[in-house]
Amino acid sequence: MSKLSYFDLVFKSLDASCDVSTFHSTEQELDDFLKEDALNNQMNRLSATFLAYWNDKVVGYFTLINDSIVAEAVSESDREPTWAYRKYPAIKIARMARHRDFDNNGIGTLMLLRIFVITLHVSQFTGCRIITVDSKTGAVEWYRKKGFNLAQMRPRDDSVPLYMDFHRFVSQEEMHPLKTLGDFL
């Protein structure tokens, strides 16, 4: 199967009716989170999880939380001179994984596009300038290719803090292949 397009996927907010038992990524910890914790967290308003379906099969998921990032962690060129506060408001990709049988179908890219769409939408209600992620080491290059930068903070043993200046990304949309982001709202 070749690359899927955005409208080949159906995105659904996780709820008790969703059967996630057939989902297997390449990371056991990410499967366990989806199957054991995601719904409970969602019900306690601690995180929001979205499933990506292709032909009624769960082929990926991502989990978002509110976040903030200290200004010093963001490169000087990404800082906003008029912002006098210590931190920038952000949205964090707390988890993201696609099904292990769907390698190279573009599903990760499409989930990221969905995250951009959600961020654009949320930013109409509350400030969220930056998208953050503590990337698994194996996914750092993938995020870098998508426009994320290394955050200037101490990496943890098992993850690397990355960020994207979402505002700048949207402002430069006409230079970007996802130039119709607003059309996906």
Ligand X SMILES: CC(C)(COP(=O)(O)OP(=O)(O)OC[C@H]1O[C@@H](n2cnc3c(N)ncnc32)[C@H](O)[C@@H]1OP(=O)(O)O)[C@@H](O)C(=O)NCCC(=O)NCCS
Binding site for ligand X (CB under 6 A): 25-27, 30, 96-98, 104-109, 133, 135-136, 138-139, 141-142, 145
Q: Residue 26: which of 114, 103, 104 has the closest Cα? A: 103
Terminal C-alpha separation, the chain: 27
Minimum gap (Å) between residue 5 Cβ and ligand X: 12
Minimum gap (Å) between residue 40 Cβ and ligand X: 20
Which residue lies nearer to ligand X by CB, 68 or 105?
A: 105
Minimum gap (Å) between residue 79 Cβ and ligand X: 25
Closest residue by beta carbon to ligand X: 108
Minimum gap (Å) between residue 87 Cβ and ligand X: 21
- Please identify which residue in the block is written with the tokens 């509350």: 126
Minimum gap (Å) between residue 42 Cβ and ligand X: 18
As beta bridge partners, residue 131 has: 91, 164
121-127: which pairs have CB atoms within 8 A and are 24 or more residues apart?
Answer: 121/185, 122/91, 123/166, 126/89, 127/89
Which residue lies nearer to ligand X by CB, 50 or 79?
A: 50
Which residue lies nearer to ligand X by CB, 27 or 80?
A: 27
What are the E-state strand segments in 30-181? 48-54, 57-70, 87-98, 130-136, 149-150, 159-165
Q: Contact at 8 Å (CB) between 87 and 122?
A: no
Which residue lies nearer to ligand X by CB, 89 or 106?
A: 106
Q: Residue 86: which of 72, 67, 104 has the closest Cα? A: 72
Which residue lies nearer to ligand X by CB, 114 or 136?
A: 136
